[in-house]
């Protein structure tokens, strides 16, 4: 078991749902506000 696993996700910084991490999106636009998405890596805390 690994202590810290890095997860790659995509999140939007342009809408109220910016805290939500989308995964495996096929589009470059946010499904909520059509803003541009940014790739970010988050640490899985569990």
Structure confidence at residue 3 (pLDDT): 53
Query: Regarding predicted confidence, which is higher, 9 or 18?
Result: 9
In angstroms, the CA 37 to CA 42 distance is: 15
**Residue 29 has what pLDDT?**
74
C-alpha 12/C-alpha 32 separation (Å) is 9
Strand segments (E) across the chain: 5-12, 21-22, 37-44
Render pLDDT for 19-42 as a digit per residue (tens, 0 to 9).
666 676 677 777 777 777 666 655
Q: How far apart are CA 32 and CA 26, in angstroms?
A: 14
What is the distance between the alpha carbons of residues 45 and 26, in angstroms, rounded to a whole number? 26
Supply angle C-alpha 11, 23, 9, rounded to 5.
Answer: 50
- pLDDT tier, 46 (very low <50, low <70, confident <90, very high otherwise): very low
């Amino acid at each position: 078991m690994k202590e810290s696993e890095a997860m790659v996700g995509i999140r939007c910084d342009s809408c109220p749902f910016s805290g939500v991490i989308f995964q495996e999106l096929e589009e470059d636009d946010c499904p909520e506000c059509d803003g541009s998405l940014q790739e970010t890596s988050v640490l899985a805390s569990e």
